Structure 1
């Protein structure tokens, strides 16, 4: 997406990008820098993500030092563990928007803990508050409903200090101004997102979810992590630092459940913050017995919880190595199309082959959503909704067939488990006729890959024959 925009494609016009503009704004500079330096964009994006993690954690540590938290000595010795939480735990979510947003949100959380700590010492300065607010705004600019993750710690601080005026802290004003400025920029620069893209998303993709599966995948280990917060240091009240991270994590669970998609990057804010709270809990000082260490059994339990919490993030979507080898031997720098709703079916395979993506869509998610919702509406006896979604699906499929016929890609990737779209296309004579010029060359558990057989003469379409 970044490369096509840098090459002159119009965002939300030539490219149907589902994310609001801050997502391309976040990654475009790194891709442009990679091109300027003649480096791989993937390498530069990784370095970019590492740098953001270091900046976020480093700034948070600087604020903690200024705040003079009682647990600072132990806390600073744990910085490598906290860095690992940012660069190893994400796994499948590494360099996602939520990953980078959480890393930059850490200073705001530490600042909130400072404001919640009763002290007669120094208070946060203007510059620190402004910079923390700018960093913290990234999480909201990524996805607006993460405003809950800002508001929950803010209300905790107000409750802790018994003063509503803490809600009007400088960093909150900065976050608010950043969000307003962003909204105005979107309205002026990309009106198509608000008038076309978002309504389409709200009508289709955002109506789909798997809440039971999400709760089964993430619920048990998250609840155990919350229980361990008390079990690690029984009888010791939660410090403001631990409380702020815990409250923010609980707030991040709301968007995860609301979206109900269950993707690892959706779960990363809630899980990374609760695990950070566990680390901070171990750093707390028990004034009744300052030198008392946590028992080895409790440390082992903590390690087990962290390992279990990391499991959902470790699943890889990397293409099968054998499949890639076969395709590299069969074709060089192909033009590529996808028949399937999962973006992972076409990416990063296309880039690994040096291919060119032909479509303005990243995948066939729109047809999948529309076909699914049409089937649900039919089952519920809602003919009007069924016809509405059927029309969306038909319009998308007609456009896809026209795109395939016009651009005639060298390679077609077919996602095996997206049967609804495959069945729809199989009923279209023009698609069946079009694929007769292709032959299967490789497949794995998830995809089957077709290559255009250049030895077969291209038969003219009926319309062309009549002309």
Structure 2
């Protein structure tokens, strides 16, 4: 009996097909089990932890971009907001619900992608190894960046990719698939405007492959564009501070934080992406023209690569979608190869080995995190559920520590990056004295926020980062901040990270 619903196959072929589908489902289930087990041993991501705090505060009545300082558009926190709301409803930790929700989104993305492609000419190719490979790339490969916006953006894009592949093949697209693709592409672009490159490159490639300019104006593209516009209007109406307060801050300060182009070119992510694309091209070679699926996936990967370079940070999670999609293209090219000549079999075997190496190296790269357990253990000894203030631009010092200790974050922002970016820009000669004077207003506003939050909710523990910057000297030179810290006594200094507690706080 065949499990491939909607596909009628005769006799032995049907039996074989059903057996392979069962094997695929079991393999995908094994991938999810492995990924869930990984979540139990890997540290929770710093930014995801912060977004859970943001979501909790919003549910408690605080206003995003007014009471909470965040540079990302509202869509970035939608999944985490839902996770916190569900967690309160079922009385579970938000971290657990967030992970469960993301796994559910991955499963839904894979199911929708399969459903879109199952009535196409690719139906015999997508239910086997490519489906298992896609599950591994979405559920296991993210490692420490699991749940980051780039991860969610790729999860959302997959069903839209399926429709773009159908367009490139000049195949029929069901109205429901058009709607799904439009929703998914819009969600991807609404996470970050940079992701328009990935969606746009896929659409352009589909049109070029189909040799039909009308693909550019397919219904799903109009749906996606309309939803992006609606999202923008909602920001203007419901979050006007994003445009009046956050956008100028991002434009004038945050965009100063850029790594040199050469440094980004030399990252492991760039090398892994290049090798994966070379594998795809080598498998096609001179005798086999790249198929539509490979072309669309490579185009999407290239779009995410442009996004990676345009953002200019070189951070691991920014590179996740470009690497994952290039590996998906490589896996597809290996699976789609139908040339049984000895030379071709050797090439495919070699490609499988190279792709496995890329996957392993990518897992290591995406698992990079800063170990703050010593700091967390010391803070934990100072008392239960502490109110914590961390004077640092390094978000990894305070997150996810504050949530692990069930404490309270004493600040309106994830970390104090404004002063640090301006300071580094002055040291590097990126800005002149005139621009530095103009940016001083942003630094003063951040400092005023620190003082206000401190007075509103005096922390039990203050952590001062003298490892990555000179926050100790900065506080000492500020009379008001020094006065606020007079009731605090040093407890420990861990590699330049100074930990203070209130003098009247009982020792644990």
Q: Is the aligned partner of 1:332 residue 2:384?
A: yes
Contact 1:374–1:390, Cα closer than 8 Å, also in 2: no
Residue by residue over 1:94-143, the C-alpha shift from the partner in whole angstroms, topping out at 9 and shown as x without a partner, is 01121111112111112111111156xxx111111111211221110101
* 1:190 lines up with 2:239 in the alignment: yes
Q: 1:90 aligns with which of 137, 142, 155?
A: 142
Cα 1:38–1:371, aligned 2, differ >3 Å: closer, same or farther? same
Deviation sequence 1:14-73 (CA, Å, 0-9, x none): 111221111233321111010111000000000011011111111112222121217x34
Displacement after TM superposition at 1:288 (Å): 7.4
Find 2:312's aligned residue among 260, 284, 289.
Answer: 260
Deviation of 1:86 (Å): 0.5
Name the count of aligned residue pairs: 449
Deviation at 1:380, TM superposition (A): 6.7
**Cα displacement (A) at 1:298:** 3.2
**2:467–2:495 CA contact under 8 A, matched in 1:** no
Cα distance in 1, alignment partners of residues 325 and 356 from structure 2: 16
Counterpart residue number, 1:459: none
Q: Does 1:439 align with 2:480?
A: no
The answer (yes or no) to whether the contact 2:422–2:436 under 8 Å persists in 1 is: no
Query: Residues of 2 paired with 1:402 and 1:118: CA distance?
Result: 60
Give the alignment partner of residue 407 of structure 1, picking from 454, 457, 468: 457
1:225 aligns with 2:276: yes
Pick one of 432, 442, 449 that aligns with 1:382. Answer: 432
- Candidates 91, 107, 111, aligned match of 1:38: 91
1:346-387 CA-partner distances (Å, limit 9, x unpaired): 1111111111112111110122123233445xx478332121
Question: 1:353 aligned to 2:402?
Answer: no
**Equivalent in 169, 174, 179 of residue 223 of structure 2:** 174
Deviations along 1:267-310, one digit per CA (max 9) or x if unpaired, are: 11111110111111111133676996455333222211222233
1:209 aligns with 2:209: no
CA distance in 1, matches of 2:488, 2:424: 28
- Distance of 1:107 and 1:318 partners within structure 2: 36
* 1:279-318 correspondence runs (5 A): 279-286=331-338, 293=345, 295-317=348-370
Shift of 1:196: 0.9
Q: CA deviation at 1:92?
A: 2.0
Question: 2:175 maps to what in 1?
Answer: 126
Report whether the alignment pairs 1:146 with 2:146. Answer: no
Pick aligned residue for 2:322 from 270, 281, 288? 270
Question: 2:117, 2:126 within 8 Å by CA — same for their partners in 1?
Answer: no
Going from structure 1 to structure 2, the CA distance change for 1:75 and 1:243 (only over 3 Å counts) comes to farther
Residue 149 to residue 380, structure 1, CA distance change in 2 (3 Å): closer
Corresponding residue for residue 108 of structure 1: 160
Shift in alpha-carbon separation, 1:455–1:444, aligned structure 2, 3 A:
closer
Match of 1:430 among 456, 480, 494: 480
For each residue in 1:311-346, what CA deviation from the matched residue of structure 2 results, as whole angstroms up to 9, or x when unmatched? Answer: 3201134531x4433332321111111100122211
Q: Which residue of 1 aligns with 2:36?
A: none
Maintained 8 Å contact 1:137/1:175: yes
Partner of 1:394: 444
Q: Cα deviation per residue 1:154-183 (whole Å; 9 max; x = unaligned)?
A: 111211222211111111111011111111
1:73 and 1:23, CA in 2 relative to 1: closer, same or farther beyond 3 A? closer
